Amino acid sequence: MEFVLNIGIVLAFFLGILLFSKKDKVLPDNLMAIWLFFIGIHLTGYFLFHKGYWETYPHLIGVTAPLPFLYGPFLYLYVLYSIKNESHLKKVDYLHFLPALISYLLMFHFFFFYSTEEKIQVYKGIIDDYNGTLASIMLVGFIVSGITYTILAYRKLVKREIVVKENFSEINQINLKWLQNAIIGMGSFFVVATIVSVFREIIGFQFPFNADILFYSIIVAFVVYIGYSGIKQKGLFANQPIQEEELVKTESEYKNSSLKSDDATKIHNELLVLMKEDKPYLNPKLTISELAQDLSTSTNHLSQVINQYEKVNFYDFINKYRVEEFIENAQNNPEFSLLANAFDSGFNSKSTFNTAFKKIKSVTPSQYLSGLKS
C-alpha cells in the first residue's frame, strides 16, 4: 500500500508542476494542475495516517478531511472549460468550492481547537463528536457531491462530442476519450466510497482488510492515467481545446432556424453534386465550415441540411462517402493494403477507418470485401 501511495503522491505533484510550467497553458491546465496538487496533499495525508504519524503529530489529524469535496468541482470545471473559450473562472464558479470551505469552518469550530489529548482520543474513537456527527455529515455530502458532479461532467462531455461530430470529419486528434475514461474512473471512486461507507458505517460490516485501500488505489490509478494520457493524448499537455463557441449548432437547436424549405432543398442538391464531382471528403481534415464555403452557405444551414435530409451528423455523412470510396479503391487496387486504400479514401487513422466502416456496413472491411468475392 505504501508503494502505491508513494507513486500517486510523487506523480500528482510532478504532473502538477509540469502543467504549471507548460508553455502557453490555458485555464483547464491550471485547473488540472491545482487539482493534482490537492490530490497529492490528500494522498500525503492518508500516507501519514497509514504510517501512524497522526498519533505522533495529532495536529495533523483531519487536516485533509474536506479535500474530497474538491474532486467533483475540479472535474466538472475542467470539463466545462475544456469546451469554453475562457481565460478565467467566473465568480459563480467559486461557489462550487463552498462545501469544502464550510467543512473546514465546521472543523475549526468542532475539532481543530481540541487539545492534543482530545484529538488523540478522537483519532482512537474514544471521543465520538467528530467521528460521529460531523464526519457522517461530511461523508454523505462528499458522496452526493462527487456523484452529482461526475454525472454533470459526463453530460457536458457527451454534449461536446455531439457538437464536435457536427463540425469535423476527423476527430481522432481532438476527441476527449481519455477524459471520458477519467470521468468514469473518478465516478468509480465515489461509487466504491459509497459502497464501503454503507457496509462499514450503516450495516456495521467489518472488512477483513483495510477497505480504504480500495478507493485510495482508484485515486492513484486516476493520477497514473492522467500522466499516461498526457503522454499519449496531445490535447492534455500540448494542444488548445476545441472551443464550443466556434462550432455550429446541434440538431436540437434548429427549431428557430431561418432556413426555408426551398433553400434547404437547393443546398442539399448542390451538396450531393459537390460530393460526387469534387470529392471534398478526400481531404482528411475537412470541416463543415470549409464545405459550407464551397457551397456559399452558412455552416449552421449546411449542418441543418445534413441532419434533416441525410439523417446523420457531419462526421458520419463524410465518412459514409469515404467508406464507399474505399470499397471502390479496394476493388480497383486489390494489390494495395486495406490501410493504404483507406488513406487514399480520406481516412487518416486506422482506428477511425475501422470504426466508421463497421458502423456503416455492420462488418469489418476484410469481412465485407470477402463477401464481395464469394
Q: Is the pLDDT of residue 237 over 60?
A: no
Q: By mean pLDDT, which of 164-173, 306-315, 363-372 is the weakest?
A: 164-173
* Residue 247 binned pLDDT confidence (cut-offs 50, 70, 90): low
3-state class of 242 per DSSP?
Answer: coil
| Three-class secondary structure of residue 85 per DSSP | coil
Mean per-residue pLDDT of the chain = 83
With bands split at pLDDT 50, 70 and 90, how would you rate the model's confidence at 151?
A: very high
The predicted pLDDT at position 34 comes to 95
The answer to whether residue 264 scores a pLDDT higher than 50 is: yes
Indicate if the pLDDT at residue 127 is higher than 50: no
Residue 113 has pLDDT above 60, yes or no: no
Grade residue 114 by pLDDT with cuts at 50, 70 and 90.
Answer: low
Lowest mean pLDDT among 167-171, 217-221, 285-289: 167-171
pTM, rounded to two decimals: 0.75
Per-residue pLDDT at 215: 82
Give yes or no for residue 110 having a pLDDT over 80.
no
Tell me how crowded residue 286 is: count the other CB atoms within 10 A of its CB.
Answer: 19
pLDDT of 252 higher than 80: no
| Domain segments of the chain as ranges | 2-245, 248-373
User: Who has greater pLDDT, 255 or 146?
Assistant: 146
Q: For residue 269, what pLDDT is reported?
A: 96
Identify the pLDDT of residue 278: 95
Least confident range of 76-85, 95-104, 106-115, 357-366: 106-115
b (16+ CB within 10 A) / e for 111-149? bbebeeebbbbbbeeebeebeeebbeebbebbbebbbeb
Q: How confident is the model at residue 320 (pLDDT cuts 50, 70, 90)?
A: very high
pLDDT above 90: residue 134: no
* CA–CA dist 14, 360 (Å, integer): 43
Average pLDDT over residues 152-177: 82
DSSP one-letter string for 265-331: HHHHHHHHHHHHHT-GGGSTT-BHHHHHHHHTS-HHHHHHHIIIIISS-HHHHHHHHHHHHHHHHHH
pLDDT bracket for residue 202 (50, 70, 90): confident
- Better-scored residue on pLDDT, 178 or 321: 321
- Whether domain 248-373 has CATH 1.10.10.60: the reply is yes
Whole-number pLDDT of residue 41: 94
Categorize the per-residue pLDDT at 327 as very low, low, confident or very high, splitting at 50, 70 and 90. very high
Among 196-200, 222-226, 291-295, the range with the most confident prediction by mean pLDDT is 291-295
pLDDT at 317: 95
Q: Does the pLDDT at position 313 exceed 80?
A: yes
pLDDT of residue 213: 83
Which residues, including other chains, have CB under 8 Å from residue 370's CB and lie 6 or more apart? none
CA atoms within 13 A on the CB side of 262: 0
Going by pLDDT thresholds of 50, 70 and 90, the confidence category of residue 23 is: confident
Range 88-108 average pLDDT: 89
C-alpha 129/C-alpha 263 separation (Å) is 71
Nearest to 25 by CA among 239, 178, 246, 231: 239
Residue 70 and residue 49: Cα distance in Å, rounded? 20
pLDDT of residue 210: 79
- Structural contact between residues 307 and 288, judged by C-beta atoms closer than 8 angstroms: no
Say what the pLDDT of residue 257 is.
67
